[in-house]
């Protein structure tokens, strides 16, 4: 296969390693470093549930399915993954142990039950007797007690017991109603894992048996459910009912990984593997006991002094300088386009626009595509209010947003009850676009306000992910938006639009044509791409063709990147950088050309086959001069970053950039930009806000 491409799964593992490396950066506060260890772990969990799960299914197909970039079969990819993951998990455990020891100096002590002092031991025994033991469901496995179904990612205690010369296996599920850790009495934050406490008490639970071995273990299951699969075919009922049934199926899918809390004998390990139909390659010893949810809750318990020492300085998304506080959003948008940049700027102006629309007599309709929402969403409140006020509200909700399916089902019911019209998309295509269209009628006739974004309408992730939200009263973009929503309503995925790019019908074709325009310029051609992932074979081949023609291609790709840069004769003119830092890089920007002839888009789509061929996506041109300047500022800072940026080499490995130069951190710089530009908060002068910058930004 081509020497300028790499396997997507191995590329993703390298991305997750970059996440883990943030936990080693001494410039990052200590508890934030622990968060990166947790993010690495939760990322890996999802990788096994989805990517390894689907590869495991493909490996069982009679006719081998091969990777179109490397020619590897599904089984070869699995073997490569298993080999690559083991050292990463060992490195994760080493880093965790370092952080655990360092946190102890700040009064955060993760205690093993056997390390507790005498008073704490008494407390733990009493807690176990009164709160834990009464709700445990221990079980031995024999002919009358079959091996239980082990729920995905739920901790269990496993033990080998001796009884009159016979060995039996026993299991105790760790009750999900119990807290993940117990905080011990005292002034320090001393915490004990609930699972480790139960493990310590196994002898008490199985009285009359001799405990030969015991361990904490956890099973990861395939979670790659697809509503179109024959295995999940549901007769009758609407799509929402079908999705509810599919979510129940997810808990019963095949195991893909076994994690152990300690080393166990070959006999014990083989027993578990046989029962779960796993190989030893799929069994890992994992010493990291904490979830990301727990690490975040730990942060909430810190004293003010500890917060200052252990966390990033607090940053609140700022009000955009592009809008005048207190004036109607609609009136301002009609005068000029507005680009919001999350999390540096607040999502509030977009939400305020929806709230205005809900009560504005001139508003006729609101149409929106929804992929992910927060658990508590003001956006839903405003859409419901608009429907209750007689507006025509249409929400296309994608019920197959992975791991948010139940949340979306719940919100679809709430919206429907309020009188909104609910659409669910298409059997073979997820609707991943981020577009909202508000239609108004006033004295001058019908007009549109269109919002196109790179990220979800999720008020929580808008404080953690970098995303762009473009709001415009441009009548041509509005007309395209209206046509797009009509096409969605009638099931037409082949609509063509003058300004908007849309997949699955035209986006890839138009992107290829835009690259061809740069190829025609030769060494004067320029392309900038900011993406989460690059996997589509045709787009990769077209970028390689552009490089061979002399086009300079600069790519900022956070995660998977299957094209290798700087390969002689193939991709010499391609540079790839990845930025991993305080915020999750999520915005997608496409730029073709330079100067007045530059064509600039923001989009919900990555350069992935699924985005181009199997999803409904949107890209909008940026026609406002001010918005284009804002995006160029983002691009400039990301190119200059030499703190969180890593450049990809031709072999797929990464190295830090810009050694010897003054440090530039694009996240810090963009926070400073937002603070400097924001209107001063009530009671605070502009000068005092700027002075505070020096102490806030690391």
β 574-579/552-557 pair status: parallel
Same fold, 26-310 and 329-489: no
Alpha helices in 594-665 (DSSP H): 609-613, 625-640
The arithmetic mean of pLDDT across residues 143-168, rounded, is: 90
Q: Which residues have CB under 8 Å from 130's CB, separation 6+?
A: none
Rounded-to-integer distance, Cα 95 and Cα 485, Å: 49
Average confidence (pLDDT) over 455-473: 96
Q: Is the Cβ–Cβ distance between 571 and 499 less than 8 Å?
A: no
Crossing angle for the helix pair 686-696 and 666-677, to the nearest 10 degrees: 170
Q: What is the pLDDT of residue 408?
A: 82
pLDDT at 686: 46
Residue 246 banded pLDDT, cuts 50, 70, 90: low
**Mean pLDDT comparison of 101-110, 228-237, 684-693, highest-scoring range:** 101-110
CATH 3.30.870.10 fits 329-489, yes or no: yes
**96-142 pLDDT, tens per residue?**
999 999 999 999 999 999 999 999 999 999 999 999 999 999 999 98
Residues of the chain above pLDDT 90, percent? 80
Examine the residue annotation and report whether 144 is marked as an active-site residue of this protein: no
Kindly list the domain boundaries of the chain, sorted by start residue.
26-310, 329-489, 501-664, 667-698
CATH class of 501-664: alpha beta
Q: What is the pLDDT of residues 491-533, one digit of tens each?
A: 999 999 999 999 999 999 999 999 999 999 999 999 999 999 9
Quote the pTM value.
0.92
Contact assessment for residue 9 and residue 74, using Cβ atoms and an 8 Å cutoff = no
User: Active-site residue among 144, 156, 341, 432?
Assistant: 432
Query: Could you say which of 3.40.50.2300, 3.30.1840.10, 3.30.565.10, 3.40.50.1970 is the CATH number of the domain covering 26-310?
Result: 3.30.1840.10
Residues 537 and 558: their CA atoms lie apart, in Å, by 18
**Of 471, 479, 480, residue with least CA distance to 451:** 471
Output the pLDDT for position 117.
92
**CA–CA separation, 90 and 80 (whole Å):** 16
Main-chain phi, psi angles of 110, to 5 degrees:
-95, 110
């Amino acid at each position: 296969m081509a020497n300028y491409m790499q396997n997507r799964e191995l590329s993703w593992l390298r991305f997750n390693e970059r996440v883990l490396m943030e936990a080693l950066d001494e410039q990052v506060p200590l508890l934030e470093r622990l968060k990166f260890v947790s993010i690495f772990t939760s990322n890996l969990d999802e990788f096994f549930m989805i990517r390894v799960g689907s590869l495991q299914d493909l490996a069982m197909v009679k006719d081998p399915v091969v990777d179109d970039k490397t020619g590897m079969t599904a089984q070869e990819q699995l073997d490569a993954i298993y080999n690559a993951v083991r050292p990463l998990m060992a490195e994760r455990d080493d880093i965790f142990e370092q952080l655990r020891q360092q946190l102890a100096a700040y009064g955060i002590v993760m205690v093993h039950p056997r390390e507790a002092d005498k008073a704490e031991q008494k407390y733990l025994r009493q807690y176990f007797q009164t709160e834990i033991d009464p709700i445990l469901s221990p079980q031995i496995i024999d002919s009358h007690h079959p091996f239980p179904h082990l729920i995905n990612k739920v901790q269990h205690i496993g033990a080998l017991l001796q009884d009159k010369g016979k060995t039996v296996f026993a299991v105790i599920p760790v009750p999900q109603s119990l807290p993940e850790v117990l905080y011990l009495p005292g002034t320090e934050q001393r915490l004990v894992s609930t699972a480790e406490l139960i493990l310590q008490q196994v002898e008490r639970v199985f009285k009359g048996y001799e405990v030969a071995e015991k361990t904490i273990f956890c099973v990861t299951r395939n979670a790659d459910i697809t509503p179109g699969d024959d295995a999940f075919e549901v007769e009758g009922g609407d799509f929402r009912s079908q999705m509810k049934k599919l979510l129940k199926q997810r808990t019963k899918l095949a195991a893909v990984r076994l994690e152990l809390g300690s080393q166990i004998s070959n006999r014990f390990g083989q027993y578990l593997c046989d029962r779960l139909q796993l190989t030893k390659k799929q069994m890992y010893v994992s010493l990291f006991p904490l979830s990301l949810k727990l690490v975040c809750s730990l942060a909430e318990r810190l004293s003010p002094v500890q917060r200052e020492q252990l966390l990033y300085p607090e940053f609140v998304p700022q009000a955009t300088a592009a809008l005048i506080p207190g004036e109607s959003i609609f009136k301002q948008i009609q005068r000029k386009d507005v680009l919001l940049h999350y999390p540096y700027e607040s999502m509030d102006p977009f939400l305020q626009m929806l709230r205005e629309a809900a009560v504005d007599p001139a508003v006729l309709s609101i149409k929106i595509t929804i992929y992910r929402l927060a658990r508590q969403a003001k956006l839903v409140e405003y859409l419901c209010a608009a429907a209750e006020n007689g507006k025509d509200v249409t929400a296309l909700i994608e019920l197959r947003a992975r791991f948010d399916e139940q949340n979306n089902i719940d919100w679809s019911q709430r919206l429907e009850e309020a009188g909104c019209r609910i659409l669910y998309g298409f059997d073979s295509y997820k609707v991943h676009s981020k577009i909202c269209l508000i239609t108004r009628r006033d004295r001058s006739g019908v007009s549109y306000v269109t919002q196109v974004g790179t990220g979800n309408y999720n008020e929580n992730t808008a404080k953690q992910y970098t995303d762009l939200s473009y709001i415009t009263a441009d009548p041509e973009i509005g007309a395209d938006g209206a046509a797009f929503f009509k096409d969605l309503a009638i099931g037409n995925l082949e609509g063509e639009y003058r300004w908007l790019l849309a997949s699955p019908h035209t986006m890839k074709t138009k992107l290829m044509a835009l690259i061809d325009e740069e190829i025609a310029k030769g060494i004067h051609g320029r392309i900038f791409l900011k993406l989460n992932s690059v996997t589509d074979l045709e787009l990769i081949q077209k970028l390689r063709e552009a490089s061979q023609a002399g086009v300079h291609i600069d790519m900022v790709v956070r995660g998977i990147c299957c094209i290798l840069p700087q390969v002689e004769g193939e991709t010499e003119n391609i540079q790839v950088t990845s930025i991993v830092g305080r915020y999750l890089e999520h915005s997608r920007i496409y730029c073709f050309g330079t100067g007045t002839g530059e064509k600039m888009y923001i989009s919900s789509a990555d350069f992935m086959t699924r985005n181009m061929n199997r999803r409904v996506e949107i890209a909008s041109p940026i026609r406002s001069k001010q918005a284009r300047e804002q995006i160029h500022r983002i691009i400039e800072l990301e190119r200059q970053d030499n703190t969180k940026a890593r450049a990809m080499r031709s072999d797929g490995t990464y190295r830090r950039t810009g050694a010897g130069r003054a440090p530039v951190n694009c996240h810090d710089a963009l926070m400073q930009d937002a603070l400097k530009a924001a209107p001063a908060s009530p009671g605070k002068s502009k000068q005092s806000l700027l002075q505070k910058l020096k102490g806030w930004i690391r």
